[in-house]
Structure 1
Amino acid sequence: MMVMMMGSTAVARLLLDHGANPEVQDSTGSSPLHDAAREGFLETVQLLCSFQANPHVRDMWNRRPIDLATEKGHHQQIAD
């Protein structure tokens, strides 16, 4: 679901509507929610959460999506 990194909420919705797993993780444990939060893509974060993506999932470095948002200066935007 690399589209999450591109910020295309419309394409993300299309994929999710057709059964894409919002909780898929790559080899580092990063999920689409990690990617969207890190990039500050608020609409995509909201969309993933509406499809039951786990906001508490941790990557191999024990970071949650909100931790990545904070590191990149998007914490307030994502936390709201």
Structure 2
Amino acid sequence: MLLKHGANPDIPDKGGNTALHCACRNNFNDVVSSLLLHSADPTIKNVWEQTPE
């Protein structure tokens, strides 16, 4: 719902993880798809230089 109203999906937590990092880590494939459809950036690295996988 927030994404439909323009929320930024790329805001990181203090570890640099975005919602996409968390969704990928937890195998929430439907959430990953939704985030990507709403322009989440899959190239953002966290503080450990990891991209969402």
Category of TM-score, reference length = shorter chain: over 0.9
Which residue pairs with 1:19 in the alignment? 6
Is there any run of 5+ residues in structure 1 with no aligned partner, and where? 1-13, 67-80
Which residue pairs with 1:6 in the alignment? none
Higher relative contact order (CA 8 A, sep 6+): 2
Which residue pairs with 1:37 in the alignment? 24
After TM superposition, the score normalised by the length of structure 1 is 0.63
After TM superposition, the score normalised by the length of structure 2 is 0.93
Partners of 2:21 and 2:29 in 1: how far apart? Answer: 12
Partners of 2:40 and 2:52 in 1: how far apart? Answer: 11
Q: Structure 1 vs Structure 2: percent identity of aligned residues?
A: 38
Cα RMSD (Å)? 0.7
Is there any run of 5+ residues in structure 2 with no aligned partner, and where? none
Q: Structure 2 counterpart of 1:48, which letter?
A: L
User: Which structure: greater helix fraction?
Assistant: 1
Q: C-alpha displacement at 1:63, in angstroms?
A: 0.7
Runs of 4+ that moved beyond 4 A: none
